[in-house]
Amino acid sequence: MSDTPAVTIDLAGMPCPAPLLGAKKIIDDLQAGQTMVLLSDCPGTEDDLFAWCKFTGNELVSNLKQADGKTAYTLKKAGGAQTTPIAHVTLDMRGVSCPGPILEAKKLLDGMKAGEILQLVSDCPGSVADIESWSHSAPVELLATLPMARGAHEFYLRKK
C-alpha cells in the first residue's frame, strides 16, 4: 500500500460529531490498509476519533496541528497489515512529568531480554521529542509512536 492518502476531506468549521461522521463515510469505502486525511478545527474531534478507532479497529495514525488552526488526522482502515507492535510489558506513566517516563522505562528495559518490546504510555508534553532523542542514544529501538486521547502517546520500544 502507498503511504499517500486515498482521500483528504476538509471539515473545518463543522461542529462535532460532523468530522467523525464524515470520516466514517469515507473510510467505509476504502480498502483495508488504505489511509485518509481528515482536516478539522473542532476541539472534540481527537477524542471522538480515538474512541471510534478503538471501537472499530481503524487506526489514528497521526494528528498534526496546522498553522491555520486545523488539525490533520491521518486514519487507516482496519484490516491491513498489523502496524502496532505486540508489547511484552506495558508501562503507563500518564500524569508523570518528564523525564520520569524515560527513567522508569529504562529501569524496566534493563530487566528485559533483547528483542522484547515495552509499550510506554505518557501524556507529558515533551515525551515525543524526549523519547525519540533518547532512543537514538540508548540500546532501544523506537518501533512506533501512536497518538492517544487527550495528548497521550503510546511508544513501542524494543530492547537491542
Q: Which of 16, 42, 53, 98 is catalytic?
A: 98
In sequence order, the β-bridge partners of residue 147 are: 153
Please name the residues in contact with 144: beta carbons below 8 A apart, sequence gap of 6 or more: 83, 84, 85, 154, 155, 156
Please confirm, yes or no, whether 98 is among the known catalytic residues. yes
Neighbours of 25 (CB within 10 A): 10
Find out whether 158 and 131 touch, Cβ atoms under 8 Å: no
Grid cell for residue 153 = 502517546
What is the set of active-site residues?
A: 98
